[in-house]
Amino acid sequence: MPLLLTPPMAPPRAARSPCQACGVREHVLFASLGGEQLAQQPVRPGWTGPEQALLARGHRGRFVYTIRSGLVRLERVTARGDTRVVRLAGRGDLVGLEALLGLPHADDAVACTPVEACAIAVDEIERLASEVGSLRQDLMLRWQRSLDAASSWSAEMCTGPARRRLLKLLEMLLPHADADGTLWLPRRELMGAMLDIALETASRLVSQLRQEGVLEPLPRQAARVDGERLAHALAAADR
């Protein structure tokens, strides 16, 4: 049984690194677990590449995924037939929570960048939750974060003129920048799906921001962003 859908998440290349040594352990679901629970190694780490699906809408998953690195978008298709991104998930976030309730996924979850994620079986979580009461509290916190991310998305990404929306998107992507200061810059059509604008409009705005020095596009859907100028441009757009 594949952990992921199309294609299955690659099996771990090296020996599993123990959860105790996980780089994001403080931020993830099992932060509150003791050494003895973690020693049982309840998760399965793996990688997947851009445009690969982690979750498929309508499918009843048997795993939830902790994102260790990379960026994932959650999207759905409207009655009108066009796909709309409803939120992003990044380092430390948990996706596929519906699986814990036996519900089908409400959205597609698609990797934007190379993604390192840990698959955690629903059964496993239920077993651990019966041992460690605080785990349920942690789960609720995850749900709340997702809810807040979705609300923020609709309040900030769907509001005001197109230029402001694009600036807001950059502001949201900036904290997920690589160690070398580059961040993921979506293809123009995807920007359109995120901000509800035409891809040509997205292209024009990117060009405009490039000329202003806010943004420097790089090959392979990457860019360098000047945080200073971005903040300045946002302040100007918000008045």
Partner DNA sequence: CGAGCCGTTGAGGGGATTCAAGCTCAGTGG
Partner DNA sequence: CCACTGAGCTTGAATCCCCTCAACGGCTCG
Instruction: Note the residues at the interface with its own copies (CB under 8 A).
Output: 74, 76, 78-82, 84, 86-87, 97-98, 100-101, 103, 106-107, 136-137, 139-141, 143-144, 146-148, 150-151, 153-160, 164, 196, 234, 237-238
Q: What angle do CA 98, 104, 108 make, to 5 degrees?
A: 85
Containing 209, the helix (H) or strand (E) segment is helix 199-211
Residue 28 Rama label (left phi>0; alpha psi -120 to 50; beta): beta
Answer for which of 73, 142, 163, 168 binds DNA (CB under 7 A) is 163
Q: Which amino acid is at 119?
A: A
Q: From the CB of 228, what's the least distance to its own copies, in Å?
A: 17
Which is nearer to DNA, 139 or 162 (by Cβ)?
162
Q: Are strands 108-111 and 72-77 parallel, antiparallel or unpaired?
A: antiparallel
For 25, which DSSP code? G
Residue 218 pairs in a beta bridge with: 222
**Under rule CB under 7 A, residue 146 binds DNA:** no
Phi and psi angles of residue 27, each rounded to the nearest 5 degrees, phi first: -100, -5
**Under rule CB under 7 A, residue 203 binds DNA:** yes
Q: From the CB of 71, what's the least distance to DNA, in Å?
A: 16
**Under rule CB under 7 A, residue 200 binds DNA:** yes
Range in contact with DNA (rule: CB under 7 A) among 91-99, 168-176, 186-194, 227-235: 186-194
Helix residue spans in 132-198 (DSSP H):
134-156, 162-173, 188-195
Interface residue list for DNA (CB under 7 A)? 161-163, 187-189, 196-201, 203-204, 206-207, 210, 217, 219, 221
